[in-house]
Structure 1
Amino acid sequence: MIWVDSNDANWEKDFLYYKSKDHNLIQKERYDPCRYRDWENLQYWFRSIEKYCPWVRTIHIVTCGHFPKFLVKEHPKLNLVTHDQIIDKEYLPTFSSHVIEINIHKIKGLAEHFVYFNDDTFINKPLDPEFFFKQGLPCDGIVLQPLMVVGAENFLGAVALTDVAIINKYFNKRQLFKKSPYTLFNFNYTVKNNFINFLEFYNRKFSSFYNMHLPQPFLKSTFEGVWECEEDYLNQVCTHRFRHPLDVNQYLFRIWQLCSGRFYPINLFSRGQNFNLRLETLNEIADVVREEKLPQICLNDDEQVKDFEQLKRELIRLFSEKFKTPSSFECQISDF
């Protein structure tokens, strides 16, 4: 997991200094606080992991050097990782999640099979290891999409196009079908999923992939393979201290994994849901959390959030009701 404490005075000082010097930043990225602000709910992430995935062996948390105050730093299941342990010093400090994501395979002690979390993704019900990996492969699925048309300031769309452009250098759909036909058409997929892939099959090139912003199972060797093929480009991405439209992100590695046929096919739409945080969606989120209707959820912050403080209070109240017992990762605070 990667995390940042935007309230850290030293971090903020560096952030403002390098932001003022980076003339490549577009206006939206320059002033948007949603990329960094803290919702103060990370302790509930740890509670959800301990309650619903007690089989997890190690949690790696990656930061620029600061860590949540509540953490038991000596916890035997916790590995505290700083950016300088996985990213070359010439690229630091970095304020880009993309740069951090493409280097996570360099974490010392990281297993071949690992699950990548953002700090806005939560486990919402008990899960077995087989939910993420079966037969030694990440559980995932291919859902093809038509070509996206994006504007110059659409970061996610632009980065997705860069991801796919690299994929098309090394893979095409017909070769994938000949090698592993079950990856594109599978009984574990929905009828709609198979039909969508059939409609997109006419073109040898990949246009776009459906990506869910949820915890993602990976093989470390996938990252190593992509770096071996695209080291120059990935190093170029690392030079961007802030997110850039020509970046790549974690989804390049996910799609590479898919196009290599190194995954166990599952129904992607049964995995969970991404909720944009709004006062209007709070009732739906609360119902899903309390009734455990979905195995995983993402609570996505974005520039459309208008009531940050109120939303934060409501989410903390919701999670404190669901996860009442502190995890072993939390320091016990005494009253005097």
Structure 2
Amino acid sequence: MISYRSLLPTFSSNVVEQSLHRIPGLTPIFAYWNDDYFLGREVQPEDFVMSIAGQRYALLFFTKGFIRFGDDNIEKARQWKNKWYATLFNTNGRLNDVFGQDKSRVHICHAPYMFFKDAFENIHSIWKDELNLTAQHKFRTWNDVLFPYLHHYYVKHEGASCCGFNFKERSFSRWTTDQFQFHVLKDNRTSNEEVFREIRTQRPSFYTLNDGFRHAQIGELQLRPFLLSMNEGFKASFELPAYVDPSLKRARSGGSGPPKRHFRPREQNSKGNRQPRKG
């Protein structure tokens, strides 16, 4: 998807997202969300795009009160040691350069993003230097720009002329928890099980499971069974078989796995010198 082979591999969604329009066969308007965002039940195209009085609208998701800022104070974010906030401030500053300062801008980081394929080239033309700099980064960096944020406000200003669509703002704050839920999972089984019960009971249309695990294996053991249970009955024809780490299989089955080598420290004499092992 990335234009230049020299930029690969990349481990930054900030790089990948700006090149989504290069995927072959994409429709003019498409939905995108990243790997911690899930569907809780069946949704319809009308949840993303609708027609009102003959006008076609795309639903751009914003939020009131979660994130609000009006400057590009990257240093403030550096003090917080938060690269994501730094990129928000930086992107907001670049929007100010083109559309003027707007302290009412908001952005939500977890949502079903709607992208207009025709807008990508225009956005790359306007913010060419910033996007090219971002594309060179293997990992998220302080001076990245967030493509979804650029895209949403570009479409808000220019959508009817560039894409043949109007937009209708949809605010998360006016929606109930049976539609959208945001959760952070941590190394706390009791808390996580409560989250899983809430999602199973309410079946929201969209939900986020943000990764707050400190140990990958804990996340694997707790999260995988839940996701597999939620996916029952919704398997798509293009899905590959689920991969399970062999070591986790052994842990679940109680198998011993390969023998472990145990080492005992050598004894030391009164001078602190190690003595040869016996036997």
TM, length-normalised to structure 2: 0.68
SS in 1 for 2:217: helix
1:109 Cα deviation from its structure 2 partner: 1.7
1:150 aligns with 2:77: yes
After superposition, where does 1:109-120 map in structure 2 within 5 Å? 109-120=25-36
SS in 2 for 1:266: strand
Q: Judging changes above 3 Å, is the alpha-carbon distance between structure 1 residues 311 and 109 closer, same or farther for their aligned structure 2 residues? A: same
Q: Which residue of 1 aligns with 2:59?
A: 139
The residue type paired with residue 151 of structure 1 is R
Identity within the alignment, %: 26
**Larger Rg over CA atoms:** 2
1:127 aligns with 2:25: no
The whole-number CA distance in structure 1 between the counterparts of 2:85 and 2:138 is 19
Deviates more, 1:138-147 or 1:109-118: 138-147
The whole-number CA distance in structure 1 between the counterparts of 2:137 and 2:208 is 26
The residue type paired with residue 134 of structure 2 is V
Q: Judging changes above 3 Å, is the alpha-carbon distance between structure 1 residues 284 and 267 closer, same or farther for their aligned structure 2 residues? A: farther
1:323 aligns with 2:231: yes
Q: Judging changes above 3 Å, is the alpha-carbon distance between structure 1 residues 126 and 292 closer, same or farther for their aligned structure 2 residues? A: farther
1:288 aligns with 2:208: no
Q: Which residue of 2 aligns with 1:225?
A: 122
The whole-number CA distance in structure 1 between the counterparts of 2:58 and 2:195 is 27
Q: Judging changes above 3 Å, is the alpha-carbon distance between structure 1 residues 100 and 330 closer, same or farther for their aligned structure 2 residues? A: closer
Higher relative contact order, chain-length normalized (CA < 8 Å, sep 6+) = 1
1:167 aligns with 2:167: no
The runs of 5 or more residues in structure 2 that have no matched partner are 160-165, 243-279
1:154 Cα deviation from its structure 2 partner: 1.0
The whole-number CA distance in structure 2 between the counterparts of 1:140 and 1:285 is 27
The residue type paired with residue 218 of structure 2 is Q
The whole-number CA distance in structure 2 between the counterparts of 1:245 and 1:332 is 37
Q: Judging changes above 3 Å, is the alpha-carbon distance between structure 1 residues 259 and 161 closer, same or farther for their aligned structure 2 residues? A: farther
Q: For residues 124-165 of structure 1, what are the alpha-carbon distances to aligned partners after superposition, in whole Å with 9 as ceiling and x for unaligned?
A: 112110101123332124446244742343111100011111
SS in 2 for 1:206: coil
SS in 1 for 2:26: coil
The runs of 5 or more residues in structure 1 that have no matched partner are 1-84, 173-203
After superposition, where does 1:1-336 map in structure 2 within 5 Å? 85-135=1-51, 136-143=56-63, 145-147=68-70, 149-152=76-79, 153-172=81-100, 204-206=101-103, 208-249=105-146, 250-260=148-158, 262-269=166-173, 270=175, 272-278=180-186, 279=188, 281-302=191-212, 305-325=213-233, 326-331=235-240
CA contact (8 A) 1:138 1:219 kept: no
SS in 2 for 1:276: strand
Q: Judging changes above 3 Å, is the alpha-carbon distance between structure 1 residues 229 and 324 closer, same or farther for their aligned structure 2 residues? A: same
1:307 Cα deviation from its structure 2 partner: 4.5
The whole-number CA distance in structure 2 between the counterparts of 1:267 and 1:241 is 33
- Figure out how many residues of one structure are paired with residues of the other and give that number: 216
Q: For residues 33-65 of structure 1, what are the alpha-carbon distances to aligned partners after superposition, in whole Å with 9 as ceiling and x for unaligned?
A: xxxxxxxxxxxxxxxxxxxxxxxxxxxxxxxxx
SS in 2 for 1:102: helix
TM, length-normalised to structure 1: 0.57
